[in-house]
């Protein structure tokens, strides 16, 4: 007997009915949504169904919410197709892909000013989340080794970070049983800046996370100020606490747009850094990088040795099989753009972000939170007293109807009574497209401002997750 279709999906139809134009005689014309179809179908039919369903997704170019790359050149697209079958973990079968992976993380280590590139160690990952797990695990394991060496207990480890961290750090703490200690942001301290940091640190602290490009707003956390606060902690207590920099977006911006800003391995307390190759690394989704300053920062017992071509290859990963193509695409971008090209592309994004923020900040309805001069991301809130007829959630909803995805969401603790709206400028949001967005934004604000009574609550807000 066939199992009943689960209820949880009642928002979806129970079957997909084919357009008769595409159906061949004798072929099924209806496919169950939640059960494997009984028989086969022709490749054209299967493709048509998947294509038509996926077509209903949003238009990535109008998505001002995501950080993730949605466009690459044709040459990269061709490489992607050629490499779609490569499994990164098969170092034996694909030794050159493995070698290219190493070239890439070494280039990244150099970009982040690793003091001794020969001693740096890193790996690709599926994204910044996996990279953060590995960075966090290294901090935890290192702390455990140091504690055990002096006969101290290793229960109750904690990690200190801003309340505005990306959800991957909550996951790390949950999955790997580390207490998350959140330093709340406030009007005076809108990012983690070392203020009052000492009161969160104790002998059970495995490390501090500093964010280069806070997801909520795009602002940088001042890594040198955080390091200075930790220097004071060490002077007072002897505790030597390391920093992991979550540079998911900013670690591929700062080296090009703010080369003099010290946030990377130039800061002695920075043990490790992650970034998303698929954000400002300019590669399609499925790629992250994590690099440790030197092999001391990465406990040896976290590294596995796999044999390849008679040799040995160290690996550190949560996954086993993983697409190799994205690594090749990152190498393509590094060769294609070089430092100059990345500087030009990221600079163009910043110009568009600062232009948009200046125009939005000049509107009566809004007050800028930040202007997009760190990473090309900025947020704004409704100006106090502007109106009680509509909120940024209504505006987000109206923009969505025009195809633009511009999320509105509450800030994290202790500012959760403040709602902001955010734009992420990515490669592909041209000045022209930005003008069209501004026009639509202004039109929707005029409409909302013309209302003489409050809008009803907007429908459940977007499923946006930081």
Ligand X SMILES: *Cc1c(COP(=O)(O)O)cnc(C)c1O
For ligand X, the closer of residues 127 and 222 by Cβ is 127
The answer to whether 23 and 45 are in contact (CB under 8 A) is yes
Output the smallest distance, CB 219 to ligand X, in A: 11
Output the smallest distance, CB 127 to ligand X, in A: 3
What distance in Å separates the CA atoms of residue 143 and residue 412, rounded to the nearest whole number? 29
For ligand X, the closer of residues 249 and 419 by Cβ is 249
Residues whose CB falls within 8 Å of the CB of residue 265, separated by 6 or more in sequence, listed in order = 109, 112, 113, 114, 115, 120, 273, 293
Interacting residues with ligand X (CB under 6 A): 67, 127-129, 166, 168, 211, 213, 215, 246, 248-249, 276, 288
For ligand X, the closer of residues 209 and 445 by Cβ is 209
For ligand X, the closer of residues 283 and 441 by Cβ is 283
Output the smallest distance, CB 213 to ligand X, in A: 6
For ligand X, the closer of residues 124 and 128 by Cβ is 128
Output the smallest distance, CB 129 to ligand X, in A: 3
Residue 315, phi then psi, degrees to nearest 5? -135, 150
Output the smallest distance, CB 243 to ligand X, in A: 14
The answer to whether 275 and 246 are in contact (CB under 8 A) is no
For ligand X, the closer of residues 32 and 184 by Cβ is 184
What distance in Å separates the CA atoms of residue 293 and residue 298, rounded to the nearest whole number? 9
The answer to whether 318 and 304 are in contact (CB under 8 A) is no
Nearest Cα neighbor of 341 from 60, 97, 102, 73 is 73
Output the smallest distance, CB 341 to ligand X, in A: 22
Element (H, E) at 270: strand 270-276
Nearest Cα neighbor of 276 from 94, 426, 117 is 426
């Amino acid at each position: 007997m066939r199992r009943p279709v689960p209820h949880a999906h009642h928002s979806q139809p129970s079957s997909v009915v084919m357009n008769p134009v595409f159906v061949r005689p004798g072929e099924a014309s209806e496919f169950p949504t939640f059960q494997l179809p009984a028989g086969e179908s022709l490749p054209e039919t299967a493709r048509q169904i998947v294509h038509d369903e996926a077509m209903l997704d949003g238009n990535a170019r109008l998505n001002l919410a995501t950080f993730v790359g949605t466009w690459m050149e044709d040459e990269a697209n061709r490489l992607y197709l050629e490499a779609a079958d490569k499994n990164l973990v098969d170092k034996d079968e694909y030794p050159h892909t493995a070698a290219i992976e190493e070239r890439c993380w070494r280039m990244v280590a150099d970009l982040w000013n690793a003091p001794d590139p020969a001693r740096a160690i890193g790996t690709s990952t599926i994204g910044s989340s996996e990279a953060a797990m590995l960075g966090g695990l290294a901090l935890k394991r290192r702390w455990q080794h140091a504690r055990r060496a002096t006969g101290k207990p290793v229960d109750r480890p904690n990690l200190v970070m801003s309340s505005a961290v990306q959800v991957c750090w909550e996951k790390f703490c949950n999955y790997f049983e580390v207490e998350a200690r959140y330093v709340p942001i406030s009007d005076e301290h809108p990012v983690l800046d070392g203020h009052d940091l000492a009161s969160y640190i104790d002998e059970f602290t495995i490390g501090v996370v500093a964010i280069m490009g806070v997801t909520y707003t795009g602002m940088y956390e001042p890594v040198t100020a955080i390091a200075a606060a930790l220097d004071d902690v060490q002077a007072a207590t002897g505790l030597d606490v390391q920093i992991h920099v979550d540079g998911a977006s900013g670690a591929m911006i700062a080296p090009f747009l703010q080369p003099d800003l010290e946030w990377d391995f130039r800061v002695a307390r920075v043990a490790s850094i992650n970034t998303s190759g698929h954000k400002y690394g300019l590669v399609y989704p499925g790629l992250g990088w994590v690099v440790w300053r030197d092999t001391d920062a990465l406990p040896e017992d976290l590294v596995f040795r796999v044999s390849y071509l008679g040799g040995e290859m160290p690996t550190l990963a949560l996954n086993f099989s993983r697409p190799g193509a994205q690594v090749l695409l990152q190498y393509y971008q590094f060769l294609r753009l070089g430092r100059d090209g990345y500087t030009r592309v990221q600079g163009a994004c910043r110009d568009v972000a600062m232009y948009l923020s200046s125009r939005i900040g000049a509107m009566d309805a809004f007050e800028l939170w930040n202007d997009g001069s760190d990473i090309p991301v900025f947020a704004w809130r409704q100006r106090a007293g502007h109106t009680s007829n509509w909120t940024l959630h209504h505006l987000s909803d109206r923009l969505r109807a025009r195809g633009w995805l511009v999320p509105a969401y509450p800030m994290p603790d202790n500012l959760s009574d403040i709602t902001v709206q955010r734009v992420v400028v990515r490669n592909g949001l041209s000045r022209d497209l930005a003008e069209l967005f501004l026009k639509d934004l202004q039109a929707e604000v005029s409409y909302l401002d013309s209302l003489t009574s409050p809008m009803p609550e907007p429908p459940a807000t977007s499923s946006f997750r930081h």
